[in-house]
Amino acid sequence: MQAFAEALKRYRTDQVRYLKLADGGITDNFGLSGLVIARTAADKPYAPLAPDRAVKLRRVVFIIVNAGQGPSGNWSRTVEGPSGTDLLGAVTNTAIESALRSGFDAFRLSIREWEEATRKWRCSLSRAEALRLGASNNWRCSNIRFEINEIAFSRFDPQRAAQLNAIPTRFKLETPEVDVLIQSGKDAVSTQTTLAGY
């Protein structure tokens, strides 16, 4: 939390005059750390939600889109060692995968603890307090659920997964590649049984 606060402070002062962008996957590929930090800093069991939102809430759905690519290159199948570029790519991919796994694990744990803390807080309220905060007459304190759904290339058939893995991650893509990505996103969401109810 201290490192996050110091980074924000640097951005808001003259210490940072120019922002240099790098691949976000190196530090937080899913963009989950902000919510984990907010939960860690929270001084209320329902935070960062406001109490009137937390008392009315029934379901929170997080959709994590994992567009991570599998291993690339074939230098591990040859006698010759990797080139410098291949080696740098492998080291970077390993760092991203490691950060991704630990970040996702921390996120899952934080969300589970947030759900339990919010439920416990809601069930500690009297009916009058809950109604004052905006709960409905048929409100049940335990009726709250936080869900995490992951959409990943690995959920497609092997041919589609291989096609998606072959698309490079860069700012400029060809139209057919963009079309494949858009259609795959639609297919991924429509075939997720856990999302069908939404």
Number of domains in the chain: 1
In this structure, is residue 2 part of a structural domain?
no
Average confidence (pLDDT) per 10 residues, the chain, 198 residues: 75 73 58 82 93 95 76 67 68 62 83 96 96 94 92 83 80 82 85 74
Q: Is residue 118 included in any domain, yes or no?
A: yes
**What span, in angstroms and rounded, lies between the C-alpha atoms of 38 and 186?**
31
Residues 6+ positions from 61 with CB-CB distance below 8 Å: 147, 149, 195, 198
Give the span between the Cα atoms of 17 and 51, in whole angstroms: 38
Segments forming the whole domain that contains residue 117: 25-195
Return d(Cα 163, Cα 143) in angstroms, integer.
Answer: 42
Asked, for residue 12, whether it belongs to a domain, the answer is: no
Please identify which residue in the block is written with the tokens 């309220």: 125
pTM for the full model?
0.72
Residue 7 in any domain: the answer is no
Q: Is residue 133 part of a domain?
A: yes
Q: How much is the pLDDT for 72?
A: 59
Q: Residue 6 falls within a domain, yes or no?
A: no
pLDDT at residue number 152: 79
Residues 86-106: tens digit of each pLDDT: 666 666 666 556 666 777 888
Residue 147 pLDDT: 92
How far is 149 from 30, CA to CA, in rounded Å?
Answer: 13
Whether residue 185 lies inside any domain: the answer is: yes
Is 16 contained in some domain?
no
